[in-house]
Amino acid sequence: EDQVTQSPEALRLQEGESSSLNCSYTVSGLRGLFWYRQDPGKGPEFLFTLYSAGEEKEKERLKATLTKKESFLHITAPKPEDSATYLCAVQAGGKYNFNKFYFGSGTKLNVKP
């Protein structure tokens, strides 16, 4: 069964304290892995797309990496404005479900000044 699991569920960091969020997946034929940031009551904001193992992408303090089983979102020297829920979504391959995205339950990040 296709599944996406994110850990930890919640993470509290001090400003400047680097850490990583994990997204592990079991899907039949990964076509893409997506990271989103979501603020309360707002739509998910697109961050990164990763397509193949070994791929890395960076944007400001964020860096996403992908292996065959999981993805990491590394946050370097976070600031309070990085506080949000970070969602991972996986697009499964296959003949009948290539349009379906599976979301993880998210990691709620709280960065204290």
Partner 1 sequence: AAGVIQSPRHLIKEKRETATLKCYPIPRHDTVYWYQQGPGQDPQFLISFYEKMQSDKGSIPDRFSAQQFSDYHSELNMSSLELGDSALYFCASSLESGDTQYFGPGTRLTVL
- 57 touches partner 1 by CB under 8 A: no
Question: Measuring CA to CA, which residue among 71, 100, 74, 76 is closest to residue 88?
Answer: 71
- The stretch among 15-23, 54-62, 70-78, 92-100 that binds partner 1 (CB under 8 A) is 92-100
Tell me the three state secondary structure of residue 81: helix
Single out the residue of 17, 19, 32, 57 in contact with partner 1 (rule: CB under 8 A). 32
Q: Which residues contact 41 (CB under 8 A, 6 or more apart)?
A: none
Measured between its terminal Cα atoms, the distance across the chain in Å is: 41
On whether the CB atoms of residues 54 and 71 are closer than 8 A, the answer is no
Q: Residue 16 CB, nearest distance to partner 1 (Å)? A: 28
Single out the residue of 53, 105, 110, 112 in contact with partner 1 (rule: CB under 8 A). 105
- 26 touches partner 1 by CB under 8 A: no
Q: Which is nearer to partner 1, 58 or 101 (CB)?
A: 101
Count of positions (residues) in the chain: 113
List interacting residues with partner 1 (CB under 8 A): 31-32, 34, 36, 41-46, 49, 87, 89, 91, 97-106
